[in-house]
Amino acid sequence: MRESQTIKEFLDRNLITVQKPGRYVGGEFNQIVKKWDSVSCHVALVFPDIYDIGFPNLGISILYDIINKHDDALAERVFAPWMDMEKLLRENEVPLFTLENKKPLNQFDLIGFSIPYETLYTNVLNMLQLADLPIWASERLASDPIIIAGGHATFNPEPMHAFFDAFVVGEGEEVIDEIINVIKHDKEKGYKREQIIDHLAMIDGIYIPGYFDVEYNSDKTIRSYINKEQPNKHSITKRFSKKLPTPPQYPLVPNINVVHDRIVVEIMRGCSRGCRFCQAGMIMRPIRERCIDEIILSMRNIVINTGISEISLLSLSSSDYTDIKELIDKVMELSDEFNLAFSLPSLRIESFNSDLMDSLEGKRKGNFTIAPEAGSDMLRSVINKPIPNSSVLETVQNICEKGWNNIKLYFMIGFPNESMQDIEGIVTLCKKVNDIGKKSNKGRFKLHLSINTFIPKPHTPFEWVGLGKKEQIIEKTNYLRENLKNSRIQVDFSDFNSSYLESVLSRGDRKLSKVIYSAWENGAKFDAWKECSNFENWDKAFSSNSIDPDFYTHRSRETTEIFPWDHINIGVDKEFLIKEFDLSKNMQTSIDCRHECLVCGIQTNFQINCSKIKSVGVEE
Amino acid sequence: MRVRISYQKRLQIRYTSTLDLQSIWERSMRRASIKVEYSKGFHPQPRIQLGVPLPLGCIGLDEKVDIWLKGSLSIEEISRKLQGKLPEGLEINTIEEIMPTEKPLSSIIQFSEYEVYLLNEETPIKDIQNRITKVLNQKEIIRTKRNGKKYDLKPLILSITLKDDNEERPSILIKLLSQSNRTGRADEVMFALGFSITDFLVERIGSFT
Ligand code: SF4
């Protein structure tokens, strides 16, 4: 086994030959390096993409902060090496190591992967191999670390079930202390790996795939899930923090250029709008707001502790924050005091009024993003994002007058019940927006369109819907391209193959583990990267495993079908999703549940009061 | 007031590029609550001016940065405030106040001195000495830049000497021109001497006028 010293020597010699060597050295301001032998519980936090992309990941930074607060535990970070570094690691037989103590991953007690999106799956396998760890959970030995995963993608854990010993369902910060305590305790007692996993299984929100048996019907759909070890536990209910935990006050400051290099303070979690295509809106319920005082105090502390002057507020829908006006005023004061650049993403035009625009007066005007999602008022009723075209245009008029020159519009194509008229609607709307912008801001106005393929996601009211057929999507894409050609509007389309892959992986069952493995063996990795994605690797993997991927994507399902993710309980009832699905078919909308509870199940399942939790987080 | 800070750049941060180092200084100053002046104009930038760029991966023993501060502080106060505010690997040697009108470092520096450590011990000392003599006797050393352009390294070399005081491993001292348009790279000299990129570690001792 190579030790840290050998790894350091390897780095001294070879780093100079790779792109951006700063990715592999750590040493950032506020980094925590504990003496290895001074703690009993060693956790590696892994983000399966390169440093530049993984560094800003909020989940990792929150867990890093919490774990390192334990006197008796440490957390260290690992990111995927880029191809040049991977080659060197393999050639020199150096195992994947952490940034802090340069320890090989197999020396840790616990390895936690953060997986926000499905196209990272092959990187997980690649990293396990680079770490010299058995890729299949079933092949791990007593001396191997326990390997777990969490993050949005794992709300359907099944495609990756064969590679992890356990999954965390829900918010990691709520569960991590319990996990650490089990590991510390069990290690001290000398328990074996199997026993530790059994103890982890007793923590709410921990899903052990090995405990469950799946039976299939002859048409390949699922007949049943059976928990062999805990017969009374039919499903795993997600965990969430009733009160948002205080943001890390000493986040790390990168030594090299990374994406989103700024301070991010989460102001609100969850969203009450209930857009029917939005998975985050369903799985992140209920809404929890952070109070203004805590936001401002944290921002001030973080600015002082990091020296970073770019700051951004995070939430699914910033302008829905209850006291957004007051918050922005206070943030602006802070900006003036410290000379900060402040950005406020995720504004909803329903709640972004001219009052708010005035508050943002005087700050540098960057992009203004509006997401109408669909091209017609009717289709927007189907997806429950009832913004009329007229208010899109009115908002554009207003913001152009206030001096914004760059507008970005987001649309999706391939929604259920979508017709060519809806696609024509996108063109008409965009042209109108462009006209308004040009009229008020002359030559400086720029319109940017981003058009993605709609992917029906698990745990949403559209989970029964099939992915749009390739021919249809391409026809619609061509139509848009043709009709927006001469308008000087910049248009980006998502690549159909990537959407297709994301769709398979997000909706897949246990049979996909083998496919993912084969695809990786065929060479698939960095599937999220345009320059690396290669659908052939996947095509071969599906056929060599005799799996028809269309089964997971294009098929529309009966509402009685048991889905691979049905034993993962997000607290929102299936009946609610079905009701919303039925409403969508009749083009009926549902209101924002801040105003009136729609009985989605969150309150009853978790025995909470949504409106109280939202502001105070405590429950009497 | 304008201060000139001499600092060391070692450990992990030697893998931070000159461009990224700019924001490291800016953020360090903010952590230290030392207010930096900004340039005028549409996109005001903090007035922080790094000296001769240090190639990625090199250790620097006496690197320089000029920073314009708002108001006036004593040198002791600046140095006290910066304590513990720099990332690991950056260490301050000295801070001095200089005239705001002084020319930028990049325009006055003439040459830099490097010490290059050999990571392999296989090459015999005699052999290295021979290689140095050979290179110094060459009329020209044509090498290719990253952008594909050919250039002559020879006139950029002021001296190459073998340092072998029988302590540890031998090292090679190299003196190179370091003017804004005529700058020699120590690694290029090492390549000309027949070493490969993983064979050595470059340390810049300093840059001089
Ligand atoms: S329980 Fe009611 S208020 Fe709470 S999230 Fe569900 S619909 Fe909204």
Q: List, as one string, the DSSP characters of A431-482.
A: HHHHHHHHHHHGGG-EEEEEEEE--PPTTSTTTTSPPPPHHHHHHHHHHHHH
H/E element, A88: helix A83-91
Q: Which of A29, A84, A302, A310 to mutate to test the interface with B (most CBs of B within 10 A)?
A: A29
Task: Kindly tell me if the per-residue pLDDT of A562 is higher than 80.
Answer: yes
ipTM of the complex: 0.94
Top residue of B12, B81, B116, B122 to mutate, by most chain A CBs within 10 Å, is B12
**A430 confidence band (pLDDT: 50, 70, 90):** very high
Residue A325 confidence (pLDDT) above 70: yes
Quick one: tokens of A31?
């980094």
Question: Does the pLDDT value for residue A363 go beyond 70?
Answer: no
pLDDT score of B181 = 85
Nearest-CA distance A309 → chain B (Å): 8
Minimal CA–CA distance to A106: which of A90, A88, A130, A85? A130
Q: Which domains does chain A have, with CATH numbers?
A: 2-237 (3.40.50.280)
Contact assignment for B29 to A305 by CB distance below 8 Å? no
Among protein residues, the one with the nearest Cα to ligand 1's atom 2 is A597
pLDDT digits (tens, 9 = 90+) for A208-235: 999 999 999 999 999 999 999 999 999 9
pLDDT at A384 over 50: yes
Give the alpha-carbon dihedral of A331, A332, A334, A336, to 10 degrees: 170
Which of A507, A472, A506, A476 minimizes the C-alpha distance to A493?
A476
Give me B126's structure tokens. Answer: 């005699």
- In A250-387, DSSP assigns E strands to 263-266, 268-269, 288-289, 310-314, 341-343, 367-373
Residue pair A430/A451 in contact (Cβ under 8 Å)? The answer is no
Decide if domain B109-208 falls under CATH 1.10.287.
no
pLDDT-derived band at A347, boundaries 50, 70, 90:
confident
End-to-end CA distance of chain B: 23
**A-chain residues within 8 Å CB-CB of B15?**
15, 21-22, 25, 255-256
User: Tell me, what's the pLDDT at A2?
Assistant: 52
Sign of torsion, CA A574 A575 A577 A578?
A: positive
Q: Which residue of A has its CA nearest to B84?
A: A29
Measured by CA distance, the residue closest to atom 4 of ligand 1 is A610
pLDDT of residue B166: 66
Task: Give the residue range(s) of CATH 3.30.70 domains in chain B.
Answer: 2-102, 109-208
Coil, strand or helix at A198: helix
Separation in Å, CA of A16 to nearest CA in chain B: 6
Cβ A234 vs Cβ A567: under 8 Å? yes
Report how far residue A415's alpha carbon sits from residue B161's, in angstroms, rounded to the nearest whole number.
72
| A1 confidence band (pLDDT: 50, 70, 90) | very low
Label residue A365 by pLDDT band (50, 70, 90): low
Q: Does pLDDT of A617 surpass 60?
A: no
Per-residue pLDDT tens digits for B138-159? 999 999 988 889 999 999 999 9
Quote the pLDDT of residue A620. 41
Distance CA(B200)–CA(B202), nearest Å, equals 7
Q: Is the pLDDT confidence value at B206 over 90?
A: yes
| B89 in A contact zone (CB under 8 Å) | yes
Q: Is the minimum CB–CB distance between A461 and chain B shorter than 8 Å?
A: no
Chain A 3-42, residues with CB within 8 Å of chain B CB atoms: 12-17, 21-22, 25-29, 31
Pick from B13, B197, B201: CB nearest A27? B13
Looking at residue A92, its pLDDT comes to 95
Task: Give mean pLDDT, residues A393-412.
Answer: 89
pLDDT band at B169 (very low <50, low <70, confident <90, very high): confident
pLDDT of residue A93: 95
Q: Which pLDDT value is given to residue A615?
A: 84
Q: Is A286 in the pocket of ligand 1 (CB under 6 A)?
A: yes
How large is the average pLDDT for residues A563-568?
A: 98
Which residues in chain B are contacts of A307 at CB distance < 8 A?
26-31, 85
* Nearest-by-Cβ selection for B31 from A21, A307, A339: A307
Quote the tokens at residue A33.
């390096």
> Would you say residue A446 has pLDDT above 50?
yes
Contact B30 A27 (CB under 8 A): no
A45-68 exposure pattern, b = at least 16 Cβ within 10 A, e = fewer: bbbbbbbbbbbbbbbbbbbbbbbb
Place of tokens 């050999």: B118
- Which strand (E) or helix (H) includes residue B179? strand B171-179
Which of residues 142 through 201 in chain B touch A, CB cutoff 8 A?
Answer: 197-198, 201
Pick the range with the lowest mean pLDDT from A102-111, A125-134, B124-133: B124-133
User: For ligand 1, atom 5, which residue shows the shortest CA distance?
Assistant: A286
Residues 6 or more apart whose Cβ sits within 8 Å of residue A203: A175, A178, A179, A182
Q: What average pLDDT is seen over chain A?
A: 93
In terms of Cβ atoms closer than 10 Å to its own Cβ (0-12, 13-18, 19+), residue A228 is exposed
In chain B, residues with a C-beta closer than 8 Å to the C-beta of A305 are 31
Above pLDDT 90, what percent of chain A? Answer: 84
- Contact at 8 Å (CB) between A167 and A150? yes
- What pLDDT sits at residue B106? 85
Size of interface A-B (CB pairs under 8 A): 74
What is the separation of C-alpha B40 from the centre of its chain, rounded to a whole number of angstroms?
Answer: 29
Q: What is the DSSP string of B54-91?
A: PPTT-EEEEEEEEEEBSS---HHHHHHHHTTTSPTTEE
Separation of alpha carbons A78 and A180, rounded Å: 19
Longest dimension (CA), chain B: 59
Q: How confident is residue B165, by pLDDT bands cut at 50, 70 and 90?
A: confident
A16, B197: Cβ pair inside 8 Å? yes
B122 in reach of chain A (CB within 8 A):
no
B81, B35 Cβ separation under 8 angstroms: no
Place of tokens 């001792």: B205
pLDDT, mean of residues A374-383: 96
**B40-93 per-position pLDDT tens digit:** 887 889 999 999 999 999 999 999 999 999 999 999 999 999 999 999 999 999
Residue B167: the pLDDT is 65
Strand B2-9 and strand B59-68: pairing? antiparallel
Say if CB A545 and CB A522 are below 8 A apart: no
With 50 as the cut, is the pLDDT of residue A619 above it? no
| Segment 218-257 of chain A within 8 Å of chain B by CB | 253, 255-257
Which of B15, B24, B119 is nearest residue A25 as measured by Cβ atoms? B15
- Supply the pLDDT for residue A362: 58
For the segment(s) B2-102, the CATH number from 3.30.420, 3.30.780, 3.30.70, 3.40.50 is 3.30.70
